[in-house]
Structure 1
Amino acid sequence: MSCNDHDNHDGLFRRAMAGVRPLQHNRVAARKPPPPPRPLQRQRDERRVMDELMDPPDPAEIETGEELLYFREGLQRRVRRRLRRGQFPPTACLDLHGMTATQARQALAAFLQESRRGRHRCVRIIHGKGNRSSNRGPVLKRKVDYWLRQREEVLGFCSALPSDGGTGAAYVLLRLAR
């Protein structure tokens, strides 16, 4: 490279830099730090829990300890919920009030057989609350709970809605006869 070439490059450089102002300092502008990471899934979970707490529970989903409740394994959750909400209207009813345990068992067996033959999908059994059973508690209610669990044709049962007898009656979902 000759001196003339150097002067020529120097002149080109100066012309190219015409109008450029020198920096006042030699520091690089700091970038704003990124925001801290947010636990989005945890926030969604917490929001869902709060929504559930603020949403009043369905009365059919609350157990007080006095209700009868039994479902065979494999019965769909939707069917269980509908039975508990009284959305399967009972098409036959048996009232066991005033019967002895032996009479009630025979009446229940005959009623279930007849209900299946009549193709009743949902029936109501009134067993009473045991208010007149002194300190022994509801005798027929406990026995009906036990007897229904033993019957192959019973898919599930639960205490009725208050308008149908509440904890003194049960909705029973039956397997239809073939």
Structure 2
Amino acid sequence: MADEDELFAEAMGRVRPLAASNKIDSESLKKRKKEQLSRRVRVGTIEPPQRAFSPEVTDGPWQLIADGVSRERVRRLGAGRPPVGPTFDLHGMRRDEALELLVEGFNAALLDGQRALRIIHGRGLHSQGKAILKEAVYHWLREGAFAHAVLAAIPEPGSGGGACLVLLRRQGT
């Protein structure tokens, strides 16, 4: 044991605190990520088609399936086909912040040609009354600015209802 303690003390003896200019706090990290995302989004903007597409709600409030999307297609989405691309973790965000992140993220995902993504909205266990983020996310998927791009949204298997998988329409079709 003494050998391990000595080795640890020797290794740690060379460690020095970071200078204040090298530290990254959570706020500056969020700001940096947002700037990177906004730079990426500026490459182009996805324009919705002339006639907005709104998926129909089926099988309860936590599943959206557009007309013409087969049950087999929804089953494959739950099984990870197509592979899930970006994940948006909305934990700890206010509703407006979360929806703003989704707008930016969906724009980037569509520009990158992504077909499936994950949204972690939580189950609403810390909300007073209803699950605020979960309801806001599903409402936004059904009626928001990118509803035209949503083919299906289902609870992610194994998430306990705290995340959903979203199948996106191919762009140009």
**Superposition TM-score, scaled by structure 1 size:** 0.58
The alpha-carbon deviation at position 86 of structure 1 amounts to 3.6
Tell me, in whole angstroms, the C-alpha distance in 1 between the residues paired with 2:122 and 2:99.
14
Partner-residue secondary structure (3-state), 2:142? helix
Q: Distance in 2 between matches of 1:95 and 1:176?
A: 23
Of structures 1 and 2, the one with the larger relative CO (CA 8 A, separation 6+) is: 2
User: SS at 1:73's partner residue?
Assistant: coil
Residue 160 of structure 2: aligned partner: 166
Q: What is aligned with 1:89?
A: 83
Structure 1 vs Structure 2 CA RMSD: 1.7
Q: Cα deviation per residue 1:131-172 (whole Å; 9 max; x = unaligned)?
A: 1113x121000110110012110111000011xx33100000
Match of 2:33 in 1: none
CA contact (8 A) 1:119 1:176 kept: yes
SS at match of 1:89: coil
Q: In the alignment, which residue of structure 2 is the partner of 1:71? A: 65
Aligned length: 111
Residue 157 (structure 1) aligned to one of 153, 157, 160: 153
**Secondary structure of 2:119's match?**
strand
How far is 1:105 from its partner?
1.0
Unmatched tracts of structure 1, length 5 or more: 1-62
How far residue 89 of structure 1 moved from its aligned partner, in angstroms, is 2.4
SS in 2 for 1:90: coil
CA distance in 2, matches of 1:168, 1:89: 19
**Paired residue for 1:128, among 117, 122, 132?**
122
Larger Rg, first or second structure (1 or 2): 1
Which stretches of structure 1, 4 residues or more, deviate above 2 A after TM superposition?
84-89
Q: In the alignment, what sits opposite 1:146?
A: 139
Unaligned runs of 5+ in 2: 1-58
Q: CA deviation at 1:78?
A: 1.4
Query: Distance in 1 between the 2:138 and 2:160 partners?
Result: 15
TM-score (ref. length: structure 2):
0.60
The correspondence of residues 1-178 of structure 1 with structure 2, limited to 5 A, is: 68-134=62-128, 136-150=129-143, 151-162=147-158, 165-178=159-172
Q: In 2, Cα distance between the equivalents of 1:144 and 1:153? A: 15
Show the counterpart of 2:29: none
Q: Name the % identity.
A: 34
CA-CA distance at 1:111 after TM superposition: 0.8
Aligned partners of 1:86 and 1:161 also within 8 Å: no
Q: Name the amino acid aligned to 1:119.
A: G
What is the CA–CA distance in structure 2 between the aligned matches of 1:84 and 1:93, rounded to whole Å? 15
Q: Deviations over 1:31-81 (max 9, x none)?
A: xxxxxxxxxxxxxxxxxxxxxxxxxxxxxxxx8x6x721110011221022
Q: CA deviation at 1:91?
A: 1.3
Alpha-carbon separation, structure 2, partners of 1:121 and 1:86: 11
